[in-house]
A = this chain, B = another copy of it.
Amino acid sequence: MRIGELARRAGVSPRALRYYEQRGLIRSRRSANGYREYDESDVRIVTEIRELMSVGFTLDDARPFVDCLRSGHSSGGSCPESVAVYRRKLAEIDRQIRDLLARRSEVAAQFADACPGCLLTRRGES
């Protein structure tokens, strides 16, 4: 299939696919007229990339998963390198959560300091 069909099937723009190729995540055969040619395995790969990006992974983060799929594994996350990325991302998210919690209390403290009484009424807005 050509780029437009792959894009439709994977739910991305052709522009994004060319970018992924430029970044070395997907490859393409070229037909005689220069058009990119893809097959089913590319659909799988792009789908995997999108799934990872939807939970905050970068393209570089996704690379080990793509390699894992290419090396024949049915799941992109079952290779040691992918597992390492999973662990790293989880740790990263945990760190971000901690940072945000710390930041929240700093903001609340500054707020209370600058405007005593303002904070007494509402909290969290959840």
Measured CB to CB, the residues of A under 8 A from B are: 51-52, 54-56, 75-78, 82-83, 86-87, 89-91, 93-94, 96-98, 100-101, 103-104, 106-108, 110-111, 113-115, 118, 122, 124-126
Q: Which residues on the B side are within 8 Å of A83 (C-beta)?
A: 111, 115, 118
- Given that A100-B100, A101-B97, A126-B94 are contacting pairs, would A114 and B55 also be in contact in the complex, using a CB cutoff of 8 Å? no
> Roughly how many angstroms separate A121 CA and B92 CA in the complex, as a whole number?
18
- The secondary structure that dominates the A interface is helix
> Roughly how many angstroms separate A117 CA and B96 CA in the complex, as a whole number?
25
- Given that A75-B115, A114-B75 are contacting pairs, would A93 and B100 also be in contact in the complex, using a CB cutoff of 8 Å? yes
